[in-house]
A and B are shown apart, each in its own frame.
Chain A
Amino acid sequence: MPHGPNRRQALAAAAGAGACAAGLGVAAGPALAVNDYAEQIIKFTGGTKPIGARVKLDLPELAENGNTVSMAVKVDGPMTAASHLEEILVLAPNNPNARVVRFRFSPTSVPEAATRIRLAESQNVIAVAKMSDGTCFFTAREIKVTIGGCGG
């Protein structure tokens, strides 16, 4: 967002055009606006409705430092030639950007992965898994964040 007189102009223009909260961006108050995580899910699954099963998302209940939160994700159940794990997309609905990371697997993969992520505030992190036959599964895991990390 531009600073100085330009910022005032931008805000005035946004208000004048009735663009409201959307035009002002996400950093307005204590709670960040919800991002486009729902659209990201639809894009990822290709419209298939994900089933709430099989995916396990491992996150601490409480993260002292939102800048580096350990996260592991796995998909339970048998992997067969017909239906094995292809991708997992992790989303943070209350981060500035919904997408956190996308993992892509091969037929020789064990269906799990781990990394460290940034979370801006307490939220329900979502993991969506896509299988080779197009079926999708998901889970959500609540995590409290004491000091937010500026995730993208």
Chain B
Amino acid sequence: MAETKPRIRLDKNDVKRGDTIEVKTLVSHVMETGLRHDADGKLIPRMIINKFTCELNGKLVFECDPESAVSANPYFQFKFKPEESGTLKFTWIDDEGTRTEATETIKVS
């Protein structure tokens, strides 16, 4: 699905309890809408990322269900106030079931 690794940017990895972390993510994906036709006039089937999740230590922080109206190379930005240190796991799943994963470590004191 993605030829390159997903890009994740946290504005900070090390926070005090009550602080906000802003997350920006970018992943390569054609997000084929299922509405285009190829040169022979055949419909190109839909092929998009249909699920993006961010979990902290296994608990959901933020989730996104894109439809084909989300642009190619989907960009998601969100913010949260973590209550514990640990591993942020990011997962993208597409219509073929291909999973792309990435992690970031954060510290909350």
How does the 8 Å CB contact mask read for A77-104 relative to B, with 1 for contact and 0 for none?
0000000000000001001110111111
A101-B35 in contact (CB<8A): no
B79-A110 in contact (CB<8A): yes
A106-B69 in contact (CB<8A): no
CB neighbours (8 Å) of A152 from chain B are: 33-35, 46, 48, 67-69
B69-A100 in contact (CB<8A): yes
User: CA separation between A116 and B75, bound complex, in Å?
Assistant: 6
B86 to chain A, nearest CB (A): 12
B70-A116 in contact (CB<8A): yes
CB neighbours (8 Å) of B70 from chain A are: 100-101, 115-118
B69-A108 in contact (CB<8A): no
CB neighbours (8 Å) of B63 from chain A are: 103-104
Give the interface size class of chain A: 20 to 34
Assuming the contacts A105-B62, A106-B59, A114-B77, asked whether A150 and B35 have C-beta atoms less than 8 A apart, the reply is yes
Query: Is A113 interfacial (CB 8 A cutoff)?
Result: yes
Query: CB-nearest residue of chain B relative to A96?
Result: B35
Which of A3, A105, A116, A151 lies in contact with B68, CB distance below 8 A? Answer: A151
- List CB contacts (< 8 Å) of A121-144 with chain B: none
The number of residues on chain B lying at the interface, defined by a beta carbon within 8 Å of a beta carbon of chain A, is 33
User: CA separation between A14 and B62, bound complex, in Å?
Assistant: 44
B20-A110 in contact (CB<8A): yes
Query: CB-nearest residue of chain B relative to A105?
Result: B62
A116-B33 in contact (CB<8A): no
User: CA separation between A115 and B70, bound complex, in Å?
Assistant: 8
Which of B34, B65, B66, B80 lies in contact with A109, CB distance below 8 A? Answer: B80
Can you identify 22 A-B contacts, CB atoms within 8 angstroms? A72-B77, A95-B69, A100-B67, A100-B69, A100-B70, A101-B70, A103-B65, A104-B60, A104-B62, A104-B64, A108-B82, A109-B80, A110-B80, A113-B64, A114-B77, A115-B70, A115-B71, A115-B74, A116-B75, A118-B69, A118-B70, A152-B67
- CB within 8 Å of B: which residues of A? 3, 67-69, 72, 92, 95-97, 99-106, 108-110, 112-119, 149-152
